[in-house]
Amino acid sequence: GAVVSQHPSRVICKSGTSVKIECRSLDFQATTMFWYRQFPKKSLMLMATSNEGSKATYEQGVEKDKFLINHASLTLSTLTVTSAHPEDSSFYICSARSGTSAYNEQFFGPGTRLTVL
Amino acid sequence: TQLLEQSPQFLSIQEGENLTVYCNSSSVFSSLQWYRQEPGEGPVLLVTVVTGGEVKKLKRLTFQFGDARKDSSLHITAAQPGDTGLYLCAGTPRGSGGSNYKLTFGKGTLLTVNP
């Protein structure tokens, strides 16, 4: 149980275009989903927290107009990188928290490697 | 200020050696998780510890939660090349339940086990 999928796993796009990344909880309902960014050999950096049916909460320094998050259902959250630039190239990982978890474990997706040319 | 200090950051050892990774804080944590991440993949949950003094074993991995719930350790016995990866400790500081249950992560320990 507790499987989270992400799509696509890799994406290459041109500068100025927008890219959408999907995060799905496959076998549980995720009351809260999180989006992280990770640089090579570094720990995860939280970008935003999204709760189903409400606006995402962004961490300090993360541009909400650039990284659009939609948590439309209890099993799906999307991250759209708008007007992407080479500096947005990174590994993006989502995680999902089950409302039934007493210990706040998060289950992570496999990540999406974004390369902006 | 790093809420969870993880050490060492890098560790390169030979197959068969033992190792310990530490995760320390001045704050009390309600629970603490250890994750392992391989290159190009998402972190995988290894264990959750919740009780002060708790010890959990997962094959050759032993996890310990400090009595005061401010620190934790991961010990690997007879490491194998398949143990190579980024090990992350993460937790929720006590009293932060209202902050959307955000996890605080350590900086990670990049372990390389050479054959």
The count of C-alpha atoms lying within 13 angstroms of the C-alpha of B80, restricted to the half-sphere facing its C-beta, is 4
pLDDT of residue A51: 85
DSSP A99-112: TT-SS--EEE---E
Q: How confident is the model at residue A101 (pLDDT cuts 50, 70, 90)?
A: low
CB contacts of B101 in chain A (<8 Å) are 32, 97, 104
Tokens of B106: 């350590």
Count of pairs with CB atoms under 8 A, one residue in A, one in B? 62
Q: How confident is the model at residue B44 (pLDDT cuts 50, 70, 90)?
A: very high
pLDDT of residue B97: 56
pLDDT of residue A106: 87
pLDDT of residue B18: 98
What integer is the mean pLDDT of B79-92?
95
Tokens of A41: 């050999």
Lowest mean pLDDT among A10-19, A92-101, B68-77: A92-101
pLDDT of residue A100: 60
Q: Which residues of B touch A (CB under 8 A)?
A: 30-31, 33, 35, 40-45, 48, 50, 86, 88, 90, 92, 100-103, 105-108, 110
pLDDT of residue B92: 82
Residue B67 pLDDT > 70, yes or no?
A: yes
Q: How confident is the model at residue B103 (pLDDT cuts 50, 70, 90)?
A: confident
Tokens of A102: 């007493």
> Nearest-CA distance from A91 to chain B in Å?
8
AA identity, residue A39: F
CB contacts of A104 in chain B (<8 Å) are 30-31, 92, 101, 103
Residue A39 pLDDT > 80, yes or no?
A: yes
Cβ of B101 within 8 Å of Cβ of A4? The answer is no
pLDDT of residue A52: 82
Residue B98 pLDDT > 60, yes or no?
A: no
pLDDT of residue A29: 87
pLDDT of residue A12: 97
CB contacts of A49 in chain B (<8 Å) are 100, 102
DSSP B56-110: EEETTEEEEE-TTSSEEEEEESS--GGG-EEEEEEEEETT-TTTTTPPEE---EE
Cβ of A103 within 8 Å of Cβ of B31? The answer is yes
CB B53 within 8 Å of CB B66: yes
Residues A106 and A34: their CA atoms lie apart, in Å, by 9
CA dihedral A7, B105, B47, A101 (to 10 degrees): -70
Q: Tell me the CA distances in angstroms from B46 to A4, A14, B56, one per residue in order.
A: 16, 38, 10
- Find the radius of gyration of the CA atoms of chain B: 14
What integer is the mean pLDDT of B32-51?
94
Instruction: Compare B75 and B31 and report the one with higher pLDDT.
Output: B75
